Amino acid sequence: MERDLKGKSAVLRLDVSSQLGRQAGARFGVRGVPTLLVVDGNGRPMLTQVGRLQPAEVQAEVDRLLSESSAR
């Protein structure tokens, strides 16, 4: 998935045992691991997936956000 999004979107992996990971987890209400968040350019979570990753959903949401931002 990271390869598919390369050049389209920033991908950031955080370790929940690190200080930054704990801060981000608290900000976004992460309660389970793994959790994937798709966040828009304003820092608003647009898609949250806990557990098994659903790549098609993630790709569709990223594509939607990119098309919205290019339309502006």
Q: Show the domains of the chain with their CATH numbers.
A: 2-71 (3.40.30)
pTM: 0.82
CA gap 41, 53 in Å, rounded: 22
Q: What is the model's pLDDT at position 20?
A: 97
Structure tokens at 53: 């990753």
- CB environment 33-67: b (16+ within 10 A), e (fewer): eebbbbbeeeeeeebebeeeeeeeebbebbeebee
- The predicted-structure confidence for 34-54, as pLDDT tens digits, reads as follows 999 999 889 999 999 999 999
